[in-house]
Structure 1
Amino acid sequence: MKRVDVILAIFLIIATGCGGNKKSNSSNNNTSTVATQDTFITVDVSKKYPLKELILQDIMDVEYIPLESTDEFLCQGVVQAIGKEIILVKNVINDGDIFIFDRNGKGLRKFNRKGQGSEEYIFNLSVFLDEDKGEIYVDEVIRNVLVYDLYGNFLRNIHRDKVKWINASNYNSDFLIARESPSAQKGKDTDNQLFVLISKQNGNVVKDFRIYFEKKIEWGITNHAGNTGAAPRPYPIIPYHDGWLLMEPSSDTIFRISQDYSLSPFMARTPSIQSMKPAVFLLPCIFTDRYHFMETITMEANFLRNEGFPKTQLVYDKKENTLFEYIMLNKDFPEKGLVNFTMQETTNSEIAFWQKMEPHELIEAYAKGQLKGKLKDIAAELQEDSNPVIMLVKYRKVTL
């Protein structure tokens, strides 16, 4: 394993040109430059690491929320945001419904503003929350971000003007954070990825950050027929304690942006992504006080068999200074392992991620005696047509 090594990490940044040395990581007078960070991890993605089994409840706190099931509140349970008091949920199908539950799973209200009007959304592809302001943001991706209050009343439009940004998240009370759409870079000879802070009031870009790289490495692969494999998409903007991590797959470095807008290297990978064929990407996932969870994904696929893009789940233990592969098990449902941690926007710094648990799966597991604790009690009350149960996984404060 590569130990935490400042000299090696700095060498990687200089050698690969992946940020901050040959070019500024900001593009106007308002933007931030790369700050110095004492230490960060370097991960060798070509190395085989020992496998370890982890128990979810040994690392984090777990809460189960059965979403109330009534004629008005039947839904597919696609959680969009979790605040301190409410949960926003939508359906997989594009029906426009947005459900609001309290933190115990009781249905409070729902609204639907799908339509062609200026105060309506064609698609509610992504929904996020500013609970303190009582505002819900619906991102159509192809057009605008529409802002509503908690009752579905229209407040304003946030327009995409000069920068065609996507992957928006709630940065703080004043700004959204997003990245420039890759489609806006097509046909251009670019060596950087732009990230922006956007005013929630008028959509103006107030700050920007750039991650530089040698050349763009495409996400996915293309077969001889010209079809691109549907590799799972990375999360380019990841919450991290009081700040955010910014990831560009073509760079060898993941950067951290703090609430004071400083940008610094956080994690490096080796070998360089620019040298690997097939490409092996390193994707950050969940970061606790002790553990850094991540995964690698290899750009290999068999189109005829619909197979490919193998993944490896990795975790770095800060206390033991070791890196290993892991299998994560839920002690309340040990027959079903957690394949990996997934990143979502929660609008709640206490929550790492959530997982949707389908009623039919829980009912079957209950009948087989595979469930324990609170989850077993919840499953005993479920019906086949019940709403999903949401498992919340919450950070646990530890001292190293």
Structure 2
Amino acid sequence: MKQTNLLLAAILLVVLAGCVEYRQSHDDLITVDLSKSYPKKELILQDLMDVEYIALETTDEFLTQGLVQDVGKEYLLVSNRNRDGDIFIFDRKTGKGLRKINRQGQGAEEYAGINRIILDESNDEILVMSPGNKILVYDLYGEYKRCLKLDREVSSVFDYDKSNLIGYDMSDYHNKGKDRSKSYHILISKQDGSITREIFIPFKTIDTPVVTGDGGFVASYSYQIRQSHGKCTLMDTSSDTLYNYAPDGTLTPFIARTPSAHTMEPEVFLYMGIYTDRYYFMQTVKNVFNFEKGNGFYTDELMYDKEEKAVYQVAVYNGDYAEKRTVAMTAKPINSEIEDATSLNASRLVEIYKKGQLKDGQLKEIASRLSEEDNPVIMLVRQKTKVNKMSPK
């Protein structure tokens, strides 16, 4: 009864806030027991998704380490891992370098660094998240347009619609064990950075992947927002339910985990990955860390098979390689079209090609004409344009 009262209180908080409608539906709710061990299954990426490779043009002007920031229908944005401020814009289809932008500096129209870059093709704009809770907005040629000053410690920011971004407030990581006092998922105006909608996921006590010890603390960070297969799924480690979020503000329970993270020692948290018509990919994170050895937050990759109504521990392999090479189905999300973007080192691809470890196809053809000094090749993963029947390996 106490648990029921807490849920009702949380729902009442949502209603009073006037920000979102909570819709309970048990018919489609999936339950995953994180205390169980599940049988293993192997799948091939190309059976599940469309995979595309883009060889980035290499010239004296366009030399990049190939950290993919965003991908649109026309453009592909990459930066360097050394945080030098360079933003490279490549043609999405051909990989041809179009222009290089660098507005890094300490001026009012400059970004102090690059935390994240968002491509907004609907408005022909580039939004650069900069330290200091700022988003600098430029046109596609690097001309300054405006600065969005945020009053939240926001991360996991993605393009949502023509007028808004969607993001997650990271301040809960500093308040573990306390009662929540605000929403953590929010819609942000692209015009002035104000909060246009607060999205309250029902829960009472904050529980985050944070481990304290040796006079400090360490945190594990995963993505609390996943735009996949035309849906927007919101996660919060303080909640035992993952929700689908609709444009009208409706929250619908999607996946429920048991037992509650609040009762586990150590806690095990659940995050959402890519999902298809049949398969829902997830990741668990165990909230442990060894300060002496410097490792922890151990993960497992899970998958729910909608046809079999069963959960598996899963490994997905890239079928373009002759050897088994796993693909993370819970990697950093890109946007509602591109599920994942991976940078493949050119020298490594040349080495693999010479060893005969690539199967016939687009990747092998690209690798055959690469030199070791070339820019990376970008692998894009997206939903299949036509759903085909498949069978596990």
Q: What does residue 354 of structure 1 align with?
A: 341
Identity %: 43
Q: Give the TM-score, by structure 1 length.
A: 0.89
Q: Deviation at 1:184?
A: 8.8
Tell me the SS of whatever aligns to 1:238. Answer: strand
Please tell me the residue identity of whatever aligns with 1:251: S
Q: What does residue 312 of structure 1 align with?
A: 300
- In structure 2, which of residues 281, 285, 309 is the aligned counterpart of residue 321 of structure 1? 309
- In structure 2, which of residues 107, 111, 123 is the aligned counterpart of residue 133 of structure 1? 123
Q: Deviation at 1:152?
A: 0.5
Q: What does residue 280 of structure 1 align with?
A: 268
Please tell me the residue identity of whatever aligns with 1:360: S
1:333 pairs with 2:316? no
1:17 and 1:212 in contact (8 A); partners too: no
Please tell me the residue identity of whatever aligns with 1:49: Y
Please tell me the residue identity of whatever aligns with 1:43: V
Compared with structure 1, are the counterparts of its residues 399 and 61 closer, same or farther at alpha carbon in structure 2 (3 Å cutoff)?
A: closer
Q: Deviation at 1:399?
A: 7.5
- In structure 1, which of residues 146, 150, 156 is the aligned counterpart of residue 136 of structure 2? 146
- In structure 2, which of residues 359, 383, 387 is the aligned counterpart of residue 395 of structure 1? 383
Q: What is the aligned residue count?
A: 384
- In structure 2, which of residues 82, 106, 109 is the aligned counterpart of residue 116 of structure 1? 106
Please tell me the residue identity of whatever aligns with 2:234: L
Q: What does residue 179 of structure 1 align with?
A: 168
Compared with structure 1, are the counterparts of its residues 22 and 205 closer, same or farther at alpha carbon in structure 2 (3 Å cutoff)?
A: closer
1:315 and 1:326 in contact (8 A); partners too: yes
Q: What does residue 232 of structure 2 align with?
A: 244
| Unmatched runs of 5 consecutive residues or more in structure 1 | 1-10
Aligned counterparts of 1:342 and 1:336: Cα–Cα separation in 2? 18
Deviations 1:351-400 (A, max 9, x none): 22121111122122112110012211111222222111111111014389
Deviates more, 1:377-386 or 1:107-116: 377-386
Q: What does residue 258 of structure 1 align with?
A: 246
Aligned counterparts of 1:274 and 1:228: Cα–Cα separation in 2? 19
Deviates more, 1:191-200 or 1:318-327: 191-200
1:191 and 1:212 in contact (8 A); partners too: no
Aligned counterparts of 1:18 and 1:78: Cα–Cα separation in 2? 42
Aligned counterparts of 1:334 and 1:34: Cα–Cα separation in 2? 48
Aligned counterparts of 2:352 and 2:228: Cα–Cα separation in 1? 34
Deviations 1:320-361 (A, max 9, x none): 2121011111111142422422344534x3322121111122
1:379 pairs with 2:367? yes
2:172 and 2:206 in contact (8 A); partners too: no
Deviations 1:25-65 (A, max 9, x none): 35633x11202334121111111111011111111111111
Q: What does residue 44 of structure 1 align with?
A: 33
Deviations 1:102-155 (A, max 9, x none): 112111101000011111000111001111211110011423111111111111
Deviates more, 1:86-95 or 1:196-205: 196-205
Q: Deviation at 1:98?
A: 0.4
Deviates more, 1:145-154 or 1:350-359: 350-359
CA RMSD of aligned residues (A): 2.4
Q: Deviation at 1:18?
A: 6.0
Compared with structure 1, are the counterparts of its residues 184 and 21 closer, same or farther at alpha carbon in structure 2 (3 Å cutoff)?
A: closer
- In structure 2, which of residues 353, 376, 380 is the aligned counterpart of residue 366 of structure 1? 353
Aligned counterparts of 2:269 and 2:41: Cα–Cα separation in 1? 22
Deviates more, 1:277-286 or 1:360-369: 360-369
Q: How does 1:56-205 map to 2 (within 5 A)?
A: 56-103=45-92, 104-161=94-151, 163-182=152-171, 186=175, 189-191=178-180, 193-205=183-195
